[in-house]
Structure 1
Amino acid sequence: MLNINKFHNDRDVWMQARKAECISLLGDPEAAINLLEQLLVKKDHWTIHKTIFQMKIDLKYYDEGLGHAFMAALTKDPPDKKINLYYKIGQVLEMKKEYKYALMHYVFVKQIRVEKKWNIPSELIQCIDRLSVKDEIKTDNLHMQLRDYWVSQKILISKRFEGFIMKFLPNGKAGFIKVKNNSYYFRTSSILSLKKDVFKDVKVSFSLVDSFDIKKGISTKEAVDILLTEDKEKNNGKK
């Protein structure tokens, strides 16, 4: 039997993700979600969060599902790749009677489709027309408005910690956050603050997720959803 120890382009992760989807289709979504959450430790990719979101919504775990949806929405991947995600978030928020934010997601999907010169489904127009009579929104800088909303919601649903940036690694792609006697690895892609003045000794708030230190071969914790303290205070409790 051929044993493959290393896959190119994380194909082992994507095969496991596909396996999880099959497990869900076969009637065990809880096991599928558990497998996908394990994969996030190795590959924190927005499409994995999106799949977990869809599975949790099917199980009516709406708040847990939205937590993963917001994580998927906040990555730096192009918004046009995420229009189905935004539309689904809008549907769930509408179901929860959060009409303003549901409408914002629907309108953002329409804006992307117009910009890309893609067709606009009649169902999307119906959603916008239905909610436009319930609430009014500002359509300027809608992506930025939604980003603030996603950040604020993630802060509300996750346990937060506070510390300061201890150092950045030479490549600038990662670093460590100091909290009392502990330090936590982080990737700069996990910094949600838009300001560019994120530097050593700046105070931050963050969440922790399970991770794995490949060099040491041990399970560990990684800092994610990092905000400058002043940004945390601005977003805390925002609705």
Structure 2
Amino acid sequence: MPSTEELLKRLGVVLDPETLRLALTHRSYAYEHGGIPTNERLEFLGDSVLGFAVTDHLYTHYPDLPEGDLAKRRSAVVSTRALAGIARSMGLGEFILLGQGEILTNGKDKSSILADTMESLIGATFRNHGIEIARQLVLRLILPLLRDVEVLGAGTDWKTAIQEIAAARKLGSIEYRVTGSGPDHARAYEAVLHIGGIAYGQGTGPSKKEAEQQSAALSWKMIRPQNDSTVTS
């Protein structure tokens, strides 16, 4: 495991060793080490700090957006998918303390574990430094996503969206062709969406569900009307 100093450098914050270790302690590791405290309480705290910081930023900087659009943007950038993407970009999985079962099933790349740990680190920052430093951390992580139109669709159920547009345009039946590769503990999946017998988007992911969602999202962008810049919700 790389030094946690490198992780703190990537986060841009300083945390005391005890709080940092707690933030990185998954329940599977805690269970195997005598029931020591887990990061779940910090995750609970970080989720609230994250929501507050993003909501305040959206309210302040998007004064013309109605409540519904603000909620969609917030949902997209605080989603499990978005947070896991941030975590992967900084290599967070290598630092998380996991039990052997999670290690064997590639827990360090599971979106749910990565997103939860990201929230626990936000909670740890709040505990060590207060709301302003925690808010600054959240904005450093989230602002690039708010500028990314594709990420703003992260909360969308793309499989439903593609069904709707395929039906509206009478493109034919939908079929996801999924293949898996790699050992059982580090399985990777590839999904290709076929509509009316024609291959469209190809998606990948650590689970069939994520691969299919990515495939559907890419396909939706391929077949949507050229003058349609909206995201289905």
Quickly name the TM-score band, shorter chain normalised.
under 0.3
Structure ranking higher in strand proportion: 1
Pick 1 or 2: higher relative contact order, CA cutoff 8 A, min separation 6.
2
More helix as a share of residues: 2
TM-score, scaled to structure 2: 0.27
TM-score in terms of structure 1 length: 0.27
